[in-house]
Structure 1
Amino acid sequence: MIKRNKPLINFIKNMDQNIYSIQGQQKEYVMIKVALLKWLIDHYYIQWDLIIRESLNRDFTFQNIVYWWGKKKINLIEEKHHPLKPQEWNSLQEILLDVPIFSKESSTILGEVYQYINHLSKRKKEGMFYTPFFVIEFMLKDKMKNWQLEDKIIDPACGCGFFLGVAYDELTNYYMENPRLLGKDKDKIHQHILKHHLYGIEKNPIAVAITKLVLLLKHKNLIPIDMHILCEDSLLGDIESIKDRDFRLVIGNPPYVGHKKFDKQYRELLNEKYGQVFQDKGDLSYCFFQKGIGLLKEGGELCYITSRYFLEALNGGLLREYILNHCKIREIIDFYGQRILKGIQVDPLIITLMPKDIKGPGENIIEIFKMKVAKENLPGATILQDMINNGESRYFNHFKINQRELAKEGWRLLHPRAKSIIAKIEEKSFVKLEDICESKQGIITGRDKAFVSDQRIAKGKSLHRDLLKPWIKGKDITPFHIAKSEKVLLYSNDILDINQWPHENKHLLSHKSYLEKRRECLRGTRKWYELQWGRDKDFFEGEKIIFPYKASSNRFALDSRGYFYSADIYGLRVKKKDVQVISHEVLTLLLNTKVYEFYFKGFAKKLGESLYEYYPNTLMQLSMPQWSDEEHNFLKTNYQLLMKYSKEGNEKKVKNIMNRVDQWLFDYFGFNHEERKHITKLYL
């Protein structure tokens, strides 16, 4: 990729430094045109002579550059000529005639150049994340088998044509290996592929122009072809020329754009047209599933690389249900938090679907490749190449599941042995945590600088001790323990009139200009000196189990000291009417065992390579047995012993107790030897 190509990076930096009279999008356009011209010169498609130099100096447009390649006019993009200053033009000519850095690069390098010069923040805003070629080649592998002359491919968010460029190469090889279809005339093959096979939609005009160039430059001779690359919004634009149920393959990397990043009107239009998959907090990529599935002909395939978030996310329920009702899922490759798209904070998966034949059988077996928990940060290319070479990759657990086992509430992609373990737990469990517990998120102060301080500082300012509450954050919690904190929270919600509290008033006044601009204060629902979300004070002051909402492993601790905590922590307590069912001590012990960590991670939402979300809407789905008095006393006694030895610093005895409790749970649920090993190693 371009990031490792120093000559190319230097070429782009030289362009950037030498083009100074124009800025913004127009500068990007000029830089792409220089890159195109350099590519044509380096490949000897253009001879850089005086006539061409003068012509391009007068009219430095895509159309004119392409004209001097093939002596034919092709309109790639609507643009105006922006004349460069003489010094700029002279500098660019030197760059063009420098070392032929593009001579061994395919035309897709133009898209990579655009990717590099296009500001990273803009791509994040638009959800544009370019797919590495090793991923594209993997996704297209074997997709061209038994290809027919009329079969069509579409990328509904084609960007700079990376998928279509690789598809072109695959199809060219296919036709050259099967001359009975079109013969071996390269002109004929080139025209047929562009005219009959490749379709793309992209709303960014410069990306559309680059896609067309990538495909045209695949052949040395410029052959004017009316290509099917549309500059439109795939989801809401006018794309009548793209017919539904017409494509053998829908492929791509649809943009990941959360609901907060597009305006209310656009969101309402999406709700109206894609309401079967999209709801208010849904992701734009969900709509591309409905769109793509609608484009497939009978027997066609949709293959997307997308975020795995929808597998478990609450807002992904409609999409999960839609896929289950309308598709046969052929394959899911779940990288399980391994971020193979470097520099992008997205946890990917590759999913392949087919439209469901409602007359066909209800049974459908899905091939699952689930990444093993990584012990090292492996390059994505290494992972996928190993899968291509060996089929049964050492980096994945490969198994099959019946589509009927997937529920709209969330897809558990579990290894058969993990499935058996969880089934054994749930067979003996009759009480869900949501039935016997309540949970509360921590406090959102609205400005920690104003409300959180060291005890020493608070004392020095004479802040009233009745308003100061012990304060912790997620990092302070480990299994069974809460680290001692010197921080205190000024619980200002107990103040009725700030003017009656001179020390607190003086302390908060320096923050008043910020605090009074908070949304709730502007609406009149909070006094300027109050916490943004102070929650229910009684919950914090009572006994409760607390845990960080993001963690790599279970970290539950029993709080009997009345800690107040930040929003990165949740609290859990047994309802008063259910304290006879299970005590806080026993629940804390169980939640920290290997058995219940395995159980939770079986359906928890994965974040990156090692983190999980411990949100209550997931955690509260855990089920517990109805313990007998004898069983409950056994567990409670072990909790008390564990805390005693922990206080004494005897970690060996603490570990022995945890092992004893896990072994007791192994026996209670009837796990066999292999299942016990599976739990111990956290194989999901």
Structure 2
Amino acid sequence: MKEVLMKFQEISDKLTQFINRYNYLAVDRNANVLFLLTCIVLKYLADNRRIDFEVHQKDIKKNFTLDYIMGLWQGAPLQEAFWEQPMGDPQPIGDEIWVWVGDLIAAAPSLAGENPGLIGNLYEASLLINHKKNQGIFYTPKNIANYMASDVLGSYQPGDEQQDFRILDPACGSGSLLNAVYDQIVAQSSALSPVEKAVQHRQLLETSLLGVDRDPIACLVTRLILTLKGSQYVKPLGVLCGDILTEELVTAQSVDVVIGNPPYVGHKEIQAEYMKLLKNRYAEVYRDKGDLSYCFIYRGWELLKPKGQLIHITSRYFIEAFYGKPLRAFIRRAFAIQEIVDFNGLRVIEGVGVDPAIIRLAKKNRIDEGQTILVKRFFIKNHKPESYPQLIQSLEQNNQQSDLYESFELLQARLNDDSWRLYSPVTQGIIEKIEKKTPFTLDNVVQSFQGIITGNDKAFIFEQNDPALCVFDPVLLKPWIKNKDVKAYQVTEPQKKILYTNRIGAINHYPQVAAHLENHWAKLKNRRECKNGKLAWYKLQWGRDPDHFEGRKIIFPYKATKNRFAIDENKCYFSADVYGLILKPRLYHQVNEEFLVILLNSRLYNYYFKSYGKKLGDKLYEYYPNTLLRLGIPDIKDETIKFFKDSYDRIVELKKNGDTAEADKILAEIDRWFYDFFELSQKEIDVIETNR
């Protein structure tokens, strides 16, 4: 494959150089990719002796199109086009390029006996990574595609009775999933005679395998892969170019299996009109800041027959994300959840900044109370990309005991729409013990607030020793910190200041501030809130309530690898990557800031939060208040509160003096106090301490 890719790239580079020199072809990405695809298809057919290149090369040079080459394979001109999308007028092949084409056909390595799926790999290699990211396009690696396709076999049996069995990939890309499904179905049918195999091939391409994608070239690649799998030419009829979410390309309730890797596209990357259309069409699952992939799950449900199966690899964010609640509620009602493979932040699809999971669902009108979900969740370890194939292989082996992942079952009826807590039996026991002794939640005792968004940091943020600060009224200058400055129990001494302008009524009363900000006027006035008249040009974009920053508060970073809570005593202002907590009036509890910081920084509560918090990558977590504030809080007596207050003061003092060893001793004693309070067993403590 590497040799083919290198040769393919060489031809591509030469073609591009030729185009630039002679303007031989229109500089069009689709036209160039089509030319290169035609080259590789020609090589594949020649290497596998389905056409005689030597005999037909003069005619091929004059008619260098996919339809002509497919006609040679068929033995007669095609009666209908292989691909209906307009691809431009056929271009004659000049001598210089033809030499390169001939060189490719004759070059090693031979493609004889190779899986046509390599055409998809070649196509994917030709896409710019930025194009893929912008479109949410990330193609499915072969090993993951094979694992997902293996689930289809339980529903499909070879023979005439399966002629109405239909398998759909709603965002098929270059066909990796349909390629894997085809291969596994054919492998299962190895006992068929050659004639029966030919019948099966035609049935799969004309009836059973369906694919839809918005990218016409990707659809063409899928067709090519499926066609070349047969010894004789058959046109795939089920691969269509279009938008499965907005077009009626497939009849409702006509599909037995939906298998897909839908685009991962957040709300910021979707055009406003298209988003509005989707929110109307998929209102039950797609709201606010939901992901486009949510719509694909709902659409799959619409297209599936009763008892049909949906198999997706998708972003795992929906499991815990606040905006995934409507989707979670829908899945729980509409499907029997059969399996969830949680990669737990391991980004097993190369080059993709999204954390995937595989879900296997069965469409049901009524969900049995005893419906169990098989969960496979990978342990958090320092895996490297080269080890990812081993991870997928371990899934295929279906080990109940594995060093790579934990496998357990849980009742679907226990899922809560607020967040799916996929707990192993040990974790379930720990959480039940915590929540049995926590009569209220963090939301009951504190209110949260986010840090400031300036809209232009260069205009408002200064180094503490910047001489420019001398001209400003000191009342407007506030200490400024960011995410990295917040540690467990400590806040780094601020090294910056913010020019806090939101309490300025009239800017002409502060000529020095006005003179400084006028240097940034062009950018400041173009902020959205300034344009719509809601914000004066000299103010911070989101200045929040300054009284929140001026008082005593608990602060924590929005994203972190572990719980990092500290009390700010210095009236620090902070950026939006930091959140604050302020105690509500204490009507029915004795909780104070010191106790909360010790509790939240403890090993137990680090484990507790991570058991359901939203993951970002293999180690990072999102400390979004809507998630954090669901933590249960115990009711502590007066004498215990004093113990924690004294312990907090001692820890802060030791850390300030650099005596971490002594501080760690106190923290270990506190951890033991919480283990005893919640009556945890030694086995449960060991799980928490190893933080698996």
Residue identity over aligned pairs, in percent, reads 35
Which of 482, 485, 488 lines up with 2:497 in the alignment?
488
Aligned to 1:266: 274
Alignment-derived partner of residue 13 in structure 1: 13
In 2, the alpha carbon distance for the partners of 1:535 and 1:458 equals: 27
Is the aligned partner of 1:227 residue 2:227?
no
Q: 1:102 to 1:497 in 2, by over 3 A?
A: farther
TM-score of the aligned structures, taking structure 2 as reference length: 0.93
2:123 is aligned with 1:114:
yes
Instruction: Give the C-alpha shift of residue 88 in structure 1.
Output: 5.3
The DSSP-based 3-state class of the residue aligned with 1:456 is: coil
2:167 to 144, 153, 161: 153
- 1:375-454 maps to which residues of 2 (within 5 A)? 375-377=382-384, 379-389=387-397, 391-392=399-400, 393-454=402-463
Write the deviation string for residues 172-210 of structure 1: whole angstroms up to 9, x where unpaired.
122223x3xx77643223223223321222222222222
Query: Which residue does 2:39 correspond to in 1?
Result: 34
Deviation at 1:357, TM superposition (A): 4.3
Q: Is the 8 A contact 2:226 2:236 kept in 1?
A: no
User: Which letter does structure 2 place at the counterpart of 1:354?
Assistant: A
Residue 327 of structure 2, aligned match among 315, 319, 322: 319
Distance 2:604 2:4 in 1: 45
Q: Give the corresponding residue for 2:377.
A: 370
* CA positional deviation for 1:154: 1.5
**Matching residue within 328, 345, 352 for 2:360:** 352
1:213 aligns with 2:213: no
Q: Which moved more, 1:651-660 or 1:20-29?
A: 20-29
Q: How does 1:579-618 map to 2 (within 5 A)?
A: 581-618=590-627
Task: Give the letter aligned to residue 328 of structure 1.
Answer: A
Q: Is the CA contact 1:57–1:83 (under 8 Å) kept in the aligned structure 2?
A: no
Q: Which residue of 2 aligns with 1:667?
A: 676
Aligned pair partner of 1:523 in 532, 542, 545 = 532
Q: 1:120 to 1:226 in 2, by over 3 A?
A: closer
The alpha-carbon deviation at position 94 of structure 1 amounts to 4.6
Q: Deviations over 1:51-86 (max 9, x none)?
A: 543x44444332123223323415113322253673
Q: Please give the secondary structure, in 1, of the residue aligned with 2:152.
A: coil
Residues in 2 aligned to 1:437 and 1:117: alpha-carbon distance in whole angstroms: 52
Displacement of 1:499:
2.7
1:357 and 1:499, CA in 2 relative to 1: closer, same or farther beyond 3 A?
closer
State the match for 2:284 in structure 1.
Answer: 276
Partner Cα distance (2:197, 2:478) in 1: 77
- State how far apart, in whole Å, the 2-side matches of 1:365 and 1:238 are: 34
- Determine the C-alpha separation between the residues in 2 that align with 1:100 and 1:294: 47
1:577 CA drift (Å): 4.2
Q: Contact 1:547 / 1:569 at 8 angstroms: preserved in 2?
A: yes
Q: C-alpha distance in 2, partners of 1:301/1:251?
A: 8
Match of 2:178 among 140, 160, 164: 164
Say yes or no: does 1:68 pair with 2:75: no
DSSP-derived class of the 2:345 partner: coil
Corresponding residue number in structure 1 for 2:632: 623
Contact 2:590 2:637 (8 Å CA) reproduced: no
Q: Give secondary structure in 2 for the equivalent of 1:366.
A: strand
C-alpha displacement at 1:7, in angstroms? 4.1
Residue 507 of structure 1: how far off its partner (Å):
1.9
- Quick check: 2:223–2:236 contact (8 Å CA) kept in 1? no
Runs of 4+ in 1 over 6 A off after TM superposition: none
What's the offset of the Cα at 1:5?
4.8
Query: SS state of the match for residue 301, structure 1?
Result: strand
Any unmatched runs of 5+ in structure 1? none
| Residue in 2 that maps onto 1:237 | 247
In structure 2, what residue type is equivalent to 1:658? L
- Which of 563, 572, 584 is the matching residue for 2:581? 572
Amino acid of the residue matched to residue 308 of structure 2? Answer: G
Query: Hey, what does 1:548 align to over in structure 2?
Result: 557
SS of match in other structure, 1:176 = coil
Residue aligning to 1:195: 206
TM-score normalized by structure 1? Answer: 0.94
Question: What residue identity is the alignment partner of 1:567?
Answer: A
Q: Classify 1:219/1:158 alpha carbon distance in 2 versus 1 (closer, same or farther; 3 Å).
A: same
Aligned-partner Cα distance in 1 for 2:509–2:454: 21
Tell me what 2:137 maps to: 128
Alpha-carbon separation, structure 1, partners of 2:470 and 2:649: 40
Q: Is the 8 A contact 1:461 1:507 kept in 2?
A: no
1:254 alignment partner in structure 2: 262
Secondary structure at 2:361's aligned position in 1? strand
Counterpart code for 2:226:
L
User: What are the equivalent positions in structure 2 for 1:296-315 lying under 5 Å apart?
Assistant: 296-315=304-323
Q: How far off is 1:598 after superposition?
A: 1.0
Q: Which moved more, 1:93-102 or 1:461-470?
A: 93-102
Q: Residue type of the partner of 1:63?
A: D
* Structure-2 residue corresponding to 1:47: 52
The CA deviation at 1:501 is 2.2
Deviation at 1:442?
A: 0.5
Displacement of 1:634 in angstroms is: 1.3
CA contact (8 A) 1:339 1:348 kept: yes
Structure 2: runs of 5 or more not aligned: none
- CA apart distance, 1:574: 0.6
Letter in 1 for 2:486: I
Residue 23 (structure 1) aligns with? 27
Q: Provide closer, same or farther for how the CA distance between residues 579 and 511 of structure 1 changes in structure 2, counting only shifts above 3 A.
A: farther
C-alpha distance in 1, partners of 2:393/2:11?
A: 31
SS at match of 2:153: coil
Distance 2:573 2:42 in 1: 64
From 274, 291, 296, give the equivalent of 2:299. Answer: 291
CA-to-aligned-CA distance 1:205-227 (integer Å, 9 cap, x gap): 2222221111111123224x462
Equivalent position of 2:473 in the other structure? 464
Alignment check: 8 A CA contact 2:279 2:287 kept: yes
Distance 1:157 1:447 in 2: 39
Could you give the per-residue CA deviations for residues 241-268 of structure 1, whole angstroms, max 9, x where no partner exists?
A: x333333322111112222333333223
Q: Aligned residue for 1:640?
A: 649
Deviations 1:15-52 (A, max 9, x none): 44344432233222222222222333333333334754
1:18/1:46 CA distance change after superposition, 3 Å: farther
Residues 560 and 39 (structure 1), Cα distance of their counterparts in 2 relative to 1, 3 Å cut: same
Q: Is the 8 A contact 1:585 1:639 kept in 2?
A: yes
Judging changes above 3 Å, is the alpha-carbon distance between structure 1 residues 582 and 36 closer, same or farther for their aligned structure 2 residues? same
- Can you list the C-alpha shifts for 1:443-479, whole angstroms capped at 9, x where unaligned? 0011111111112214565222221111111011111
Q: Relative to 1, partners in 2 of residues 1:39 and 1:51: Cα closer, same or farther, differing over 3 Å? A: closer
Q: Say which of 183, 186, 200 aligns to 2:197.
A: 186
